[in-house]
Amino acid sequence: MNKIQQTIFSAWMLGGLLALGTTQSLQAAALVQVEVFPPEVNLETLRDRQSLIVQATYADGVTKDVTEQAKFVPENPALVKLQDSTLYPAQDGKTTIRVQFEGNTVEVPVSVKKAKQDRPISFRLDVMPVFTKSGCNMGSCHGAARGKDGFRLSLFGFDPEGDHFRLTREINGRRINLALPEESLLMEKAIGSVPHTGGKLFGKESELYTEIVRWLSMGAPNDSGEVAELVGLELYPLEAVMQGRGTTQDLTVRATYSDGTNRDVTHLSYFMTNNENSVAVDQAGIMQAGERGEAFVTARFMTMTIGIPIIVLPENAELEFPNLPQNNYIDELVDQKLKKLRIAPSELADDETFLRRVSIDLVGQLPTVEEYRAFIDNPAPNKRRQLIDELIERPEFVDIWVMKWSELLTVRSVRNRVSYKAMLLYNNWLKDQISNNVPVSEMVIELLSAEGSIFDNPPVNFYHVERDRLKIAENVAQVFMGMRLQCAQCHNHPFDRWTMDDYYSFAAFFSQIGRKNGEDPRETIYYNRRSGGQRHPVTNEVMKPRYLGGDLAEFENGEDYRANLAHWLASPENPYFAKNISNIAWAHFFGRGIIDEVDDVRVTNPPSNGPLLETLGEKFAESNYDFKQLVRDICNSRTYQLSTQANATNSTDETNFSKAKIRRIRAEVLLDCLDQVTKSPSKFRGLPLGARAVEIADGSTSTYFLQTFGRASRETVCSCEVKMEPNLSQALHLLNGSTVSSNIVRGKVVSDALKEKQDPKQILETIYLRALCRKPSVDEVAAFNQMLAEKGANHQQILEDIFWAVLNSREFIFNH
């Protein structure tokens, strides 16, 4: 691939450009694209309007808001009025606006309908958004469960009917004054002309004010008949790379409704940033760049929130992006983002490091001395690919992913509820699926549609380990879509798109699960009751099952709701499934998800690299959910094989995968590695001596070591159950505890070798190769030889102490 020419604005150049407002392009990167947002405009009814944004993208990836510099030329000026960059309807018809900037022209189709007609005011469409925009219905204000200072609005407007009642009739004559709308308490509080705990929210000149007054003067009507529902929200531009402190970029927000209309709702949207240090945004929708960094800027309108990623670069950010090989699509997409950030990835990790890393990650074991030699001496240029293929086919690869899935599915015995037998059968079923590399979609469909006895059909245990059907719905969303829906059980999710309607329509899929006892007292049978429904606690309506973020489900006669859901869930129709599984796999190999935490997918927690996650999901779906292929793609990428050592540009990068992350080895694998190198197997409940900790089927089985190093107890589906932070107890245990000291003695690695008359130097090298996958360094050899050469030195003790030290070393405890 050709090196991309990085040309840079120097600080004074940029200043000069801004000051002159001209188009000097000497030294500046070339303009490569001009875009206008929204790409087409529909104006309908008298009060409609649409603001346009013009964004220029330069060859170095930097974008600029050039709306003010651009020229807008309507083809037919009679149809639209143009004020600055906002279009207003004048006359019905279709036309085009030509937007011109530095020799580029973009055509924006415009359609105007009912230009002379006024749209009647709507409580839901015009009034409710004002409460969200001004923050009236936030949880800390009137949106609290009991309201505030005697007045309550539903949180983020989840109950318009109730809000209308409380405004107009709860205390007759108090809150609104239809004769003199401007003297309504509602209006006086809002503009702060009477004392208001929330202070002044807007002024009399504001559009928010005039809209409510207009509603009041029309008699504060409630909506009658069908009201168009909000079905989509667009936020423009789609992304931005802002260069230089103080640079600004306008935003525009457009809502689309179920009747096919759309509206510019910029003035009714609530804007937020997740990193004010880098990007500040005001309530007019203008972003301003600050410190170098990344931010995610969101707009909330009614029940929906949408966000865009923004990168901020300092004025003098320059980088010759190195010309690097790209092993596959992962590297292309990672590098694409890194280029925008002016970050160069680290070097490739050396063969020894790679061998140790990939062995721990893929099979949870350290390479043996023989494996080490075979790999290092292998002259094949594609030996890393060969190794990955070999490791993926080993049975230990299956154990790792059975363990991961057992965490997601909370496989554990629970006294008096989930018997050991049921748990074991469940675990064995998982093992079967994964060792046969059953497409993940098929596995999930079988799991979620399962019915019958928990003994005869083990995947039924999914409904046995958790029986509360709301909780089941929440778990399904969290495990298979990465979403935490819990908030929407009681009110619209405040920082995601999910409403209570969404929640209960999704929970409805699990409303017909029947349960009866089997013959064995430990046995339970689950079946389709073919009746029953899920009521919405506010409206008391029985909810029709609706796919989360999708359509109403259509059932064939007698079809099990769950089976129907399962087929949607594990299909490309569901935009979250493939991405979520890919992200879970990614996080295993990188120590961090592209969305992190992997089960906290929400609008306000965006992926650090959106295109990368999209593509991983697409490829995974295209491969028919072939999990091994996904893992192969990840491990073969150069990105996975990078060194942990930072360079001058990526030392502070933690989120863009520009270097490998040093990760403490997770509890089970660390214990297995300790047992492996000391040849001293552990015994776990229910497993034969020599079985490994990753094979423990039951979440309720644990040991002090596993607990201290953060094994998941599998009580919840949360990814946060596995803990990776180091702590003092871990240090004490490795220093003094039985796991290291006794293992060394018990396993006799040193004493046996001495009995075989091996040279101490050779034993030293073996210890290093077994545990650290490298030979001891010159300094280390020198230091230890001196100890061994001392008069009367006890070779066994010294070598065992070296072994002890190696197992206590950071290099051993961490994967790097």
Partner 1 sequence: MKRSGCSGFQQLAASRRDFLQVGAIGGLGLTLGNFFQMRQAQADIKDYKSVEGTAKSVISIYLPGGMAHQETFDPKPIAPIEYRGPLKAIKTNVEGVYFGEYLQKTAQIADKLTVIRSMTHGEAAHERGTHNMFTGYRPSPALKYPSMGSIVAHEFGPRKDLPPYVCIPNQPNEFAGTGYLSSSYGPFSLGSDPASKGFTVRDLSLPGGINEDRFARRRSILDTVNSHFRSREEADALDAMDSFYQRAYSMISSKDAREAFDIDKEDKKTREQYGMNQAGQRLLMARRLVESGVRFVNLTYGGWDMHQRIESGMKRWVPDLDRAFAALIQDLSQRGMLDETLVVISSEFGRTPKINPQAGRDHWPKVFSVVMAGGGIKGGMVYGSSDPTAAEPEENAVTVEDWASTVYDRLGIVADKELMAPGDRPIEIIDGGKPIKDIMV
Q: Which residues in the 700-719 window bind partner 1 by CB under 8 A?
A: 704, 707-708, 718
Closest separation between CB of residue 388 and partner 1, Å?
24
Its sign, for the CA torsion 625, 628, 634, 636, is negative
For strands 41-44 and 104-113, give the pairing: parallel
Select the span of 23-31, 122-130, 185-193, 803-811 touching partner 1 (CB under 8 A): 803-811
Out of 2, 83, 140, 224, the only residue in the binding site for partner 1 (CB under 8 A) is: 140
Q: Tell whether residue 600 is a contact of partner 1 (CB under 8 A).
A: yes
Query: Would you give the binding string for partner 1 spanning residues 224-263, x where CB under 8 A is met?
Result: ---------------------x------------------
DSSP-assigned letter for residue 459: G
Q: Tell whether residue 602 is a contact of partner 1 (CB under 8 A).
A: yes
State how far the Cα of 132 lies from the Cα of 406, in Å rounded to an integer: 42
Q: Tell whether residue 726 is a contact of partner 1 (CB under 8 A).
A: yes
Q: Tell whether residue 11 is a contact of partner 1 (CB under 8 A).
A: yes
Select the span of 455-463, 518-526, 755-763, 798-806 touching partner 1 (CB under 8 A): 798-806
Residue 634: partners with Cβ closer than 8 Å, 6 or more residues away: 330, 585, 586, 589, 640
Closest separation between CB of residue 447 and partner 1, Å?
23
Out of 193, 624, 736, 762, the only residue in the binding site for partner 1 (CB under 8 A) is: 736
State how far the Cα of 493 lies from the Cα of 669, in Å rounded to an integer: 38
* Cβ atoms of residues 662 and 815 within 8 Å: yes
Out of 735, 755, 761, 762, the only residue in the binding site for partner 1 (CB under 8 A) is: 735
Out of 13, 82, 144, 348, the only residue in the binding site for partner 1 (CB under 8 A) is: 144
Q: Tell whether residue 592 is a contact of partner 1 (CB under 8 A).
A: no
- 3 state SS of 412: coil
How far from each other are the two terminal CA atoms of the chain, in whole angstroms?
29
* Cβ atoms of residues 286 and 253 within 8 Å: no
Q: Tell whether residue 277 is a contact of partner 1 (CB under 8 A).
A: yes
- 3 state SS of 335: helix
Out of 85, 419, 604, 609, the only residue in the binding site for partner 1 (CB under 8 A) is: 604
| Residue 71: Cβ within 10 Å count | 10
Q: How far is CA 365 from CA 360, 389, 631, 674, 767, in A?
A: 5, 16, 17, 9, 15
The residue with tokens 């953060």 is 710
State how far the Cα of 265 lies from the Cα of 252, in Å rounded to an integer: 8
**How many residues are recorded in the chain?**
816
Geometric angle at alpha carbon 52, from 46 and 57, rounded to 5°:
170
State how far the Cα of 445 lies from the Cα of 385, in Å rounded to an integer: 32
Query: Would you give the binding string for partner 1 spanning residues 297-326, x where CB under 8 A is met?
Result: -x---------------xxx----------
Closest separation between CB of residue 220 and partner 1, Å?
29
Closest separation between CB of residue 691 and partner 1, Å?
24
Closest separation between CB of residue 397 and partner 1, Å?
26
Q: Tell whether residue 292 is a contact of partner 1 (CB under 8 A).
A: yes
Closest separation between CB of residue 489 and partner 1, Å?
8
- Closest alpha carbon to 637 in 608, 657, 653, 620: 657
For residue 261, how far is the Cα from the chain centroid?
Answer: 31
Q: Tell whether residue 785 is a contact of partner 1 (CB under 8 A).
A: no
Question: How many chain residues interact with partner 1 (CB under 8 A)?
Answer: 88
Closest CB to partner 1 among residues 163, 596: 596
Closest CB to partner 1 among residues 684, 784: 784
State how far the Cα of 135 lies from the Cα of 268, in Å rounded to an integer: 11
Tokens describing residue 737: 């505890």
- Closest alpha carbon to 583 in 606, 599, 566: 599
Tokens describing residue 741: 């000291």
Segment 84-123, which members bind partner 1 (CB under 8 A)?
A: none
Closest separation between CB of residue 86 and partner 1, Å?
27
Select the span of 321-329, 332-340, 522-530, 731-739 touching partner 1 (CB under 8 A): 731-739
Closest CB to partner 1 among residues 18, 145: 145
Segment 612-671, which members bind partner 1 (CB under 8 A)?
A: 644-646, 652, 654, 661-664
Closest separation between CB of residue 771 and partner 1, Å?
10
Closest CB to partner 1 among residues 78, 783: 783
Closest separation between CB of residue 733 and partner 1, Å?
5
- 3 state SS of 764: helix
Query: Would you give the binding string for partner 1 spanning residues 470-499, x where CB under 8 A is met?
Result: -------------xxxxxxxx--xxxx---
| Residue 329: Cβ within 10 Å count | 16
Closest separation between CB of residue 325 and partner 1, Å?
24
Segment 385-444, which members bind partner 1 (CB under 8 A)?
A: none
DSSP string, 121-141: P-IIIIIHHHHHHTTTTSTTT
Q: Tell whether residue 678 is a contact of partner 1 (CB under 8 A).
A: no
Closest CB to partner 1 among residues 613, 813: 813
DSSP string, 100-117: EETTEEEEEEEEEESTTP
* Cβ atoms of residues 767 and 774 within 8 Å: no
Q: Tell whether residue 533 is a contact of partner 1 (CB under 8 A).
A: no
* Cβ atoms of residues 482 and 489 within 8 Å: no
| Residue 226: Cβ within 10 Å count | 8
Q: Tell whether residue 352 is a contact of partner 1 (CB under 8 A).
A: no
Out of 59, 82, 280, 424, the only residue in the binding site for partner 1 (CB under 8 A) is: 280
Q: Tell whether residue 275 is a contact of partner 1 (CB under 8 A).
A: yes
Closest separation between CB of residue 480 and partner 1, Å?
15
State how far the Cα of 232 lies from the Cα of 573, in Å rounded to an integer: 17
Tell me whether the omega of the peptide bond preceding residue 537 falls within 30 degrees of 0, making it cis: no
Out of 86, 96, 274, 368, the only residue in the binding site for partner 1 (CB under 8 A) is: 274
Closest CB to partner 1 among residues 277, 336: 277
Out of 117, 193, 624, 729, the only residue in the binding site for partner 1 (CB under 8 A) is: 729
